[in-house]
Amino acid sequence: MEEHAYIGELLAGIVYLIAGIRLLRLSQRTGEAPERLLGASFCAMAVSLFFYQLPNFPVFESVWTALVLAGRVCVIPSVVIFALFTWRVFRPAERWGEWLVWGTGILLVIGVGGSALGGDWEGYSISSGWFWFEWVGYTLPYGWAGVEAFVQFGHARRRLRLGLCDALVCNRYLLWASFGVLQVSLSLVILPQYYEYETSNHFAQTWDSLYGAIGIASIGMMWLTFFPPAFYKHWIQGSAPAVTAAEG
């Protein structure tokens, strides 16, 4: 990828690392599993993104392929733990949610392992069947999280009108749904990116710019979800709809 995508990934890596560490520290105080799971997922994703960034430094150019493969490998635990977080938070009683977590891991391992054994260490070969195992394994958990959060946002919005839900909690569901949508959008953008790379051996600037912009928007949604600044909190609480009486 070119400059715009790399800038977006570098910023994402930094934000993921900060957010992951803060969530892990929070889990130490609360003893709650969701914070611990999401913090571990974010930290693993940060490490993955940093592996992708290292080849930009001349000293690491000679091991570019190995570093990209390391980045792909680090994505596996990050995404599987993210899927586990979604299951534990939204569908803890549903057996299919557990199978979805397992399926995510299996798809990622098959995709990364199969393409690497076939000589495609970077995973850029969109014409390879292994690519699609990895792509689905990566994309599915984020789409799942987005759908679950959007459903909960609908419920929370109705409770908000009755004064039974805090405005920030309601907004948090919307932000998390937006994060899921943007992550899926990133997965969709890499399809024409990788096609261009496979056919012409370079990444098109247009797709790179779009990838970088969506990546920055995605981490913005994630940060607002868990660490909203004071002005944002005041804005959300001030714009909350007036409480209406429940119909008898």
Over its length of 248 residues, how does the chain's per-residue pLDDT go in tens digits?
Answer: 555 556 777 888 899 999 999 999 999 998 889 999 999 999 999 999 999 888 777 778 788 889 999 999 999 999 999 999 999 999 999 999 999 999 999 999 999 999 999 988 988 899 989 999 999 999 999 999 999 999 999 999 999 988 888 999 999 999 999 999 999 999 999 999 888 888 887 777 888 888 888 988 999 999 999 899 999 999 998 877 665 544 43
Rounded to whole angstroms, the Cα distance separating 18 from 30 reads 18
In Å, how far from its chain's centre is CA 62?
29
In a domain, 16, yes or no: yes
In a domain, 190, yes or no: yes
With contact defined as beta carbons under 8 Å apart, do 153 and 177 qualify?
yes
Q: At what angle do helices 129-161 and 95-117 cross, to 10 degrees?
A: 150
Instruction: Show the domain range for 10.
Output: 3-227
In a domain, 243, yes or no: no
In Å, how far from its chain's centre is CA 16?
9
Beta strands per DSSP E along the chain? none
In a domain, 244, yes or no: no
Q: How many CB atoms lie within 10 A of CB 151?
A: 13
Q: How many CB atoms lie within 10 A of CB 206?
A: 12
| Among the listed residues 190, 180, 207, the one whose alpha carbon sits nearest the alpha carbon of residue 122 | 190
In a domain, 95, yes or no: yes
In a domain, 77, yes or no: yes
In a domain, 247, yes or no: no
In a domain, 40, yes or no: yes
Instruction: Give the tokens for residue 47.
Output: 């490490």
Instruction: Give the tokens for residue 51.
Output: 């592996």
DSSP 106: H
With contact defined as beta carbons under 8 Å apart, do 103 and 133 qualify?
no
Which pTM was predicted?
0.90
> Domains in the chain: how many in total?
1
